[in-house]
Chain A
Amino acid sequence: MTQAADPRAGRRAATETHYRRFDLFDRWLHGALMTSFLGLSLTGLPLLFHDAPWARLVSGIFGGPLFAAMLHRVFASMMIATFALHLGRLAKKIFVERQPGILWGPTSLVPQPRDLTEMLGHLRYFLGQGPRPRFDRYTYWEKFDYWAVFWGMGIIGGSGLLLWFPEFFGRFVPGWAFNVAMIVHGEEALLAVTFIFTIHFFNGHLRPEKFPMDPVIFTGRVPERELREERPAEWARLERQGRLEGLAAPPPDAADLRRSRRIGATAVAIGLIMVALTIYALLRGH
């Protein structure tokens, strides 16, 4: 260990060597995804829970249901653009740069047998029956997050477009497709909102080791100690490949960290409020 132990990486780690994890493009993409996701939840949930006592208030903050509907489409466009940029970059990496490791291997987000063994190992570790698995660049829960969003993009985005342009799609699909789209859009959105605002928040930010947040998605870099400890397989691989030096970076400066925390805390606060309102409405049977 290179640093006196503090799980809140960065707060007192100003001198520790960091390693780049996410490049600027991915960080901006996450920012756009986060913003559009929060916007979509805030303008969408009042519809889903229209008879909850808070629905009119939240809808009213966004100018009433019809103006909120317009904003919902603006945020939807932003999210679709985000997804398109991601897909475009992915295609470039696969087809133009022919990067190995995008579709398989330790740096790929594609689920692989090791994810199953790591998950089982992690569960054993939870129960005190074994050591923490030696994770590489992406853990199984991070891959789940990624593919959940990927699937959600298709499902919620597709059904959303159907509902946005019903007259156009009505030329090609039968009426029940709109019934299905309506259910899928609402239920999948409910799943996405509650999952992101509870499980993703916990896994990424709120669990005691990371609390109150992990700034890596905003600063793009991870302290050495954290990398070695949480992703030992990645550390070992990078060391073996001689790539550590190339990824080394100075620690994020204090202003960067402050900004990251502010953005992160705002997003987490909005998310937790929304999930609290959702749970309240679900428990009240709305």
Chain B
Amino acid sequence: MAGGLLLCAVGAPGPALAAGPANDDCLSCHDDSTLVRETGATSVAVDPAAFAASMHGAAGAACVDCHVDLAAEDTEFPHAEKLAKATCDGCHEEAVADHAESVHAAARKPDGSPAATCAECHGTHDIAPSGEPRSRTNHFQIASTCLRCHADPAIHPPKPGAPPGRSPTHFNDSIHGHALLVAGLNVAPNCADCHGAHRVVAARDPASPVNRTGAPQTCGACHEKIVLAFEEGVHGRQLAAGNEAAPSCADCHTSHGIVQAATSTWQARVIGACGDCHRPAIRSYRSTYHGQVTALGSTRIATCASCHDAHAIHPSSDPRSTVSAERRLATCQQCHQKATAGFASYDPHADPSDKSRNAAVYYTAGFMKFLLVGVFAFFGLHTALWLPRSWAERKRHATGAGGAPESRSPDQEKPS
């Protein structure tokens, strides 16, 4: 992108084509740093040094290459107060055309809202090649450039349904944000790496690189091996086949707040993400020791992915599946090293209400319910009946009245 801009600028030697005033002519007025429009506040000053240091200045571009309405031979100076907006498409035709189809352009059209044009992201007279650290579109700068608007609730209010209290800059705290901004990795993705730069479209648009159908390809640009396993797996195949219920990357990993998968908090949370679709499975999982302990926050024992794998998920009938008859024992043995075939025939998703799946479980659960209800029915009644009698006994004792207790009445004396 940087190279493209540079080549374009170099390949369009402005001064040769443009007529009109030379840069020095313009700067004879505009180098006054106090210069403002007649209406007052808006500065129209240009810092000659900054322009000279910019990629356009360095390439010898003329002011009128962008401020094209001043290029006409008959322009009189001082020029009109209101000029046409500086245009970029003289050189950057493709980028401008892409932008025209973006959400930024669409958001700007109807109500003139401050959605990004070229200058919002690239700057104006001081545009530096994105290879330079000072550039607003430098690999490590793009996040803060985007967040100038996207973290400002006045410009970009949080989406309805966003988790309350979520920081608009939560990308910075994600594994990607951390790799980019703290670890400074040039391979870490910035906003544009996933969303594209000029033709940013809404994620729901199939043309978006972050659309649920296209996301595996986008994520796979870096996470190549993961996406290969995912695409072979049942989720990937269903997604590719157009099943709208099939999960894409972000359904499990989220999009901006992606947390390192090795962390306990994420592993505990992603169980819920699996359970959003696999309801009976999460219910039965939660009735096992694995599910109980992970529900209490420890993920040192099996989560969904421990047995089913995270990306290479296949139906258990498929020999490639980690829970297939062929591979199940080895899967158990990852943690239970001395597990036997008998051990591995445990049903981790038994359903006490499903007799056909596991009759022993069904009848055991039924018997335990019967026992619980039976014991409490009898002793509940027993206690309820005893309470008033016991109360009466206590009162009889407390008042010291009542003579011989009933149990000692002579007609009850029997040899024991």
Complex Cα distance, B295 from A161, in Å, reads: 23
**Closest beta carbon of chain B to A136's beta carbon, Å:** 6
Contact A179 B342 (CB under 8 A): no
Contact B368 A184 (CB under 8 A): yes
Contact B379 A195 (CB under 8 A): yes
Stretch at the interface among B203-211, B233-241, B381-389: B381-389
B281 interface contact, C-beta 8 A: no
A209 in complex: contacting residue of B337, B343, B382, B390, CB < 8 Å: B390
B412 interface contact, C-beta 8 A: yes
Contact A209 B346 (CB under 8 A): no
- Given contacts A50-B292, A66-B298, A229-B407, A176 and B379 within 8 Å (CB-CB): no
- Given contacts A170-B342, A171-B340, A208-B393, A56 and B296 within 8 Å (CB-CB): yes
A232 interface contact, C-beta 8 A: yes
Interface of B is mostly: helix
Stretch at the interface among A93-101, A119-127, A243-251, A257-265: A119-127
A166 interface contact, C-beta 8 A: yes
B394 interface contact, C-beta 8 A: yes
Stretch at the interface among A1-9, A29-37, A74-82: A1-9
In the bound complex, residues from chain A placing their C-beta under 8 Å from that of B390 are: 207-209
Number of interface residues of A (CB under 8 A): 66
Complex Cα distance, B392 from A128, in Å, reads: 11
A131 interface contact, C-beta 8 A: yes
**Which residues 363-415 in B have Cβ within 8 Å of A in the complex?**
364-365, 368-369, 371-372, 375-376, 379, 382-383, 385-387, 389-391, 393-394, 396-400, 405-409, 412-414
A-contact bits for B332-365, CB 8 A (1 contact / 0 none):
0000111110111111001010000010110011
A202 in complex: contacting residue of B295, B343, B383, B389, CB < 8 Å: B383
In the bound complex, residues from chain B placing their C-beta under 8 Å from that of A199 are: 376, 379, 382-383
Contact B407 A134 (CB under 8 A): yes
B43 interface contact, C-beta 8 A: no
A132 interface contact, C-beta 8 A: yes
Chain B CB count within 10 A is highest, among A106, A141, A178, A228, for A178
A115 interface contact, C-beta 8 A: no
Contact A175 B287 (CB under 8 A): no
Look across to chain B and name the residue whose beta carbon is closest to the beta carbon of A51.
B295
**Which residues 218-274 in A have Cβ within 8 Å of B in the complex?**
228-229, 232-233, 236-237
In the bound complex, residues from chain A placing their C-beta under 8 Å from that of B289 are: 47, 163, 182
In the bound complex, residues from chain B placing their C-beta under 8 Å from that of A203 are: 383
Contact B368 A183 (CB under 8 A): yes
Chain B CB count within 10 A is highest, among A134, A170, A171, A190, for A170
Contact B368 A188 (CB under 8 A): yes
B300 interface contact, C-beta 8 A: yes
Contact A179 B296 (CB under 8 A): no
- Given contacts A134-B412, A187-B368, A191-B372, A179 and B347 within 8 Å (CB-CB): yes
**Closest beta carbon of chain A to B376's beta carbon, Å:** 7
B-contact bits for A76-112, CB 8 A (1 contact / 0 none):
0000000000000000000000000000001000000
In the bound complex, residues from chain B placing their C-beta under 8 Å from that of A17 are: none
- Given contacts A64-B297, A65-B298, A69-B293, A187 and B286 within 8 Å (CB-CB): no
A39 interface contact, C-beta 8 A: no
A174 in complex: contacting residue of B295, B342, B405, B409, CB < 8 Å: B342
**Which residues 155-177 in A have Cβ within 8 Å of B in the complex?**
163, 166-168, 170-176
In the bound complex, residues from chain B placing their C-beta under 8 Å from that of A56 are: 296-297
In the bound complex, residues from chain B placing their C-beta under 8 Å from that of A167 are: 336-340, 343
**Closest beta carbon of chain B to A213's beta carbon, Å:** 14
Contact B372 A187 (CB under 8 A): yes
Contact B397 A232 (CB under 8 A): no
A283 interface contact, C-beta 8 A: no
In the bound complex, residues from chain A placing their C-beta under 8 Å from that of B383 are: 198-199, 202-203
B317 interface contact, C-beta 8 A: no
Complex Cα distance, B342 from A123, in Å, reads: 50
Complex Cα distance, B415 from A106, in Å, reads: 12
Contact B296 A106 (CB under 8 A): no
A59 interface contact, C-beta 8 A: yes
B293 in complex: contacting residue of A66, A136, A163, A170, CB < 8 Å: A66
In the bound complex, residues from chain B placing their C-beta under 8 Å from that of A171 are: 340, 342-343
Contact B398 A7 (CB under 8 A): yes
A55 interface contact, C-beta 8 A: yes
Contact B412 A182 (CB under 8 A): no
Contact B416 A208 (CB under 8 A): no
A277 interface contact, C-beta 8 A: no
**Closest beta carbon of chain A to B372's beta carbon, Å:** 5
Chain A CB count within 10 A is highest, among B298, B339, B346, B360, for B346
In the bound complex, residues from chain B placing their C-beta under 8 Å from that of A281 are: none
A215 interface contact, C-beta 8 A: no
- Given contacts A6-B398, A131-B406, A166-B336, A176 and B346 within 8 Å (CB-CB): yes
Contact B368 A175 (CB under 8 A): no
- Given contacts A56-B297, A66-B300, A126-B386, A166 and B343 within 8 Å (CB-CB): yes
Contact B361 A176 (CB under 8 A): yes
Complex Cα distance, B289 from A46, in Å, reads: 11
A153 interface contact, C-beta 8 A: no
**Closest beta carbon of chain A to B324's beta carbon, Å:** 16
A132 in complex: contacting residue of B286, B288, B394, B406, CB < 8 Å: B406
Contact A132 B407 (CB under 8 A): yes
What 10 A-B pairs come out closest when comparing CB atoms? A170-B343, A175-B345, A175-B346, A187-B368, A126-B385, A5-B397, A233-B416, A132-B407, A50-B295, A208-B394
User: Could you write out 21 A-B pairs with CB less than 8 Å apart?
Assistant: A5-B397, A6-B398, A7-B397, A50-B296, A56-B297, A65-B297, A125-B389, A126-B385, A128-B389, A166-B336, A167-B338, A171-B342, A175-B345, A180-B364, A182-B287, A191-B368, A195-B376, A199-B376, A202-B383, A208-B393, A209-B390
Q: Which residues of A contact B (CB under 8 A)?
A: 4-7, 46-48, 50-51, 55-56, 59, 64-66, 69, 106, 123, 125-128, 131-134, 136, 141, 148, 163, 166-168, 170-176, 178-180, 182-184, 187-188, 190-191, 194-195, 198-199, 202-203, 207-209, 211, 228-229, 232-233, 236-237
Q: Give 19 A-B pairs besides A66-B298, A179-B360, A199-B376 with Cβ atoms closer than 8 angstroms.
A: A5-B398, A5-B400, A48-B292, A55-B295, A64-B297, A66-B293, A123-B382, A134-B407, A167-B337, A170-B340, A175-B342, A175-B343, A175-B347, A179-B350, A199-B383, A202-B386, A207-B386, A211-B394, A232-B408
